[in-house]
Structure 1
């Protein structure tokens, strides 16, 4: 029999004897003895209450530890008894097991959280009304860290079952592929929204499509032009030997000359477009941006072009020749845009950007670009210049894309244009 049971049994017997003594003394009218037995009854009852209260406190402490998730406490038995000690050990084990389970759950949570934050796909958990429960790092980069509700354009796209959402974000354009999964958590309807920025993939596919088209066109045109030029040269030489009058001979020779010149012009035209399909992979080296700007400044030699640099020791990993081609092309366009400006000014700057990248900006206060033209400014062959080939800015975009960078343009008619280039640093 356990010690606790002996305590209870002893106190119960003592209480019974005291109560019996009290009744006997009352019956025999022994007042003092009756009073003494009553006091003893009270003391036994208090002792039983204390024993029960200690056991209750032990159980209450265990419940409070579970309730407050205090897993560091150890439940100690209120008195020495095997059964009570076993109960205390069991309660302590439950608390420690809860701690172990909580640590395991926290480890899993941190693992899945870090896993979700390491993927490029944006993942958002929302309520039915669009309120955000949780979102990973990629989602914060797209929507911003202080967004608490799913933007209306994304909600509308999901409601209309649209697959692509176009969004503007600072210096870049986002083409988001969106999808949604409905789940139930504790009987409450929630949604898991995933978004992937496919802008770079779309641009790459577009660029490859243009290159394939250009290769086919140039191949077919060159195959047709080459024999025409050869034949026109031969006929032009032999027309001199024909026994015809001078006027007819002059007309034939003139016509063949026109054919020859136009074919050569067309060959030159096609050769220019071949450049779009012959961009070699960049041969990267470490470039000191300060020296790079000095070289560009020397090549442009215009007094209203100003270069600013956040850090003179700033370096960049890129193909110097290709990057020079990009900057010179954009600056040349800026100079042309400022021809009618009273006080022209062109700013070329480089600052550190997020994710260990460098942001270049080339801004001017020229005439600006109308929205219809701005949307097509990087499309191959598109030009607004009378003698333009339409490959300059398209070439710039391809070079920056090959460097895994971004190029964007913002413009307002009458106020000027800003080209933004973002590239990874060395």
Structure 2
């Protein structure tokens, strides 16, 4: 009995010792301490196998840990070298990660909490405080050295059961400058083309009329003017008047583009708006061969817009669609109104007409650019300006003779 009792006590001590070693092993793994080794040169076979297995498990976990560290360092280096600012923050406003580009854009280092942005700009702090997933914002930062136009985009992530907001920032000032310069070049090219087309005949005819009444810098006598000269002079003056009128109309259209009034917004039913627009369309422009399809979802969709201005945009776009469908026996215009995945309201007009060729699709919103013989080139540029005044945009996608789609995004 004494021997049995002694054996039981020793067995319990052995089991407790083994359990403590295993518990110590897991505690070391938890603390990322992989230096622990179990002796494999023991006499008990089962204990020897257990120690060997624990050592192998320890090495495997250490290998995975090192790989994860290397991968994390690799991704962090990529984020540091990225040309866009990236940071993540939780609901309490703590910034969990911010790459160097973000710190450079915001001119603050290190970034730990969005309250630090209050020291840069109060508006910037308020903007970040109210930032929601899928928001897109444009903010301007100015200091004594430079001016930045920063585009912000946000999305949500779930990390360790915690909602995280990922914010991406990019300085688009340079791109805007390049775009603005390109737009001015295109506009000047169109303006000079239109003005030269109008002024050249005026100059030519004026020179011809002067020659009727002047020879070698000497004005001819009244008795030398015959009836034919008078008739030609009158015809020339009529052409000059007509060309001058065209030039005045051109300048007037330019003035209307620059003096677009601020939208007088009100809540408008999308269904009533589209019904009204289709009713206002000139019946002569419609054709029985062209079918219309209108989809509104939800049916009670409402828009906060200037009804008159948006009607003007819709009529202009639908007219363009009708013109592109001339000669098409299976013409189809589809009008869709709804809310997209980013919770933005939209109206889309698509057709299966001749469309827009890829080489001019970037030009169609340039004021006075037109491919029509009697077009002014002001319609689409004016429409885009109206959408900008509404805080939205007008986009186009075109595959000639398949589908052309204009998207009014509010």
TM-score, scaled relative to structure 1: 0.49
Equivalent residues in 2 for 1:380-395 (5 A)? 380-395=367-382
Equivalent residues in 2 for 1:20-419 (5 A)? 47=9, 50=12, 54=16, 57-58=19-20, 60-61=22-23, 63-65=25-27, 67=29, 111=90, 196=170, 198=172, 202=176, 206=180, 210=184, 245=225, 247=227, 251-300=232-281, 301=283, 302=286, 304-419=291-406
Separation in structure 2 between the aligned mates of residue 48 and residue 366 of structure 1, nearest angstrom: 93
Q: Is the alpha carbon distance of 1:111 and 1:66 closer, same or farther for their aligned partners in structure 2, counting shifts above 3 Å?
A: farther
Q: Which has the larger radius of gyration?
A: 1
Q: Is the alpha carbon distance of 1:268 and 1:364 closer, same or farther for their aligned partners in structure 2, counting shifts above 3 Å?
A: same
Structure 2 gaps of 5+ residues are: 32-86, 103-130, 135-150, 153-167, 207-212, 214-220
Q: Aligned-residue CA RMSD in angstroms?
A: 4.9
After superposition, what is the alpha-carbon deviation per residue over 1:337-373, rounded to whole angstroms, capped at 9, x for unaligned? 1121113221111122012112322122222332223
Shift of 1:328: 0.5
SS in 1 for 2:348: strand
Identify, as 1 or 2, the structure richer in helix: 1
Structure 1 gaps of 5+ residues are: 1-38, 70-107, 124-137, 142-175, 178-193, 233-238
TM-score, scaled relative to structure 2: 0.50
Count the aligned residue pairs: 262
Indicate the residue corresponding to 1:188 in structure 2: none
Does structure 1 retain, via aligned residues, the 8 Å contact 2:187–2:367?
no
After superposition, what is the alpha-carbon deviation per residue over 1:83-120, rounded to whole angstroms, capped at 9, x for unaligned? xxxxxxxxxxxxxxxxxxxxxxxxx986399878999x
Indicate the residue corresponding to 2:56 in structure 1: none
Q: Is the alpha carbon distance of 1:259 and 1:201 closer, same or farther for their aligned partners in structure 2, counting shifts above 3 Å?
A: same
- Structure 1 stretch displaced more, 409-418 or 287-296: 409-418
Shift of 1:58: 4.7
Q: Is the alpha carbon distance of 1:110 and 1:269 closer, same or farther for their aligned partners in structure 2, counting shifts above 3 Å?
A: closer
Shift of 1:334: 0.9
After superposition, what is the alpha-carbon deviation per residue over 1:246-297, rounded to whole angstroms, capped at 9, x for unaligned? 6355555554444333223211111112222222332322221011111112
Q: Is the alpha carbon distance of 1:117 and 1:296 closer, same or farther for their aligned partners in structure 2, counting shifts above 3 Å?
A: farther
Separation in structure 1 between the aligned mates of residue 255 and residue 96 of structure 2, nearest angstrom: 43
Separation in structure 2 between the aligned mates of residue 298 and residue 355 of structure 1, nearest angstrom: 31
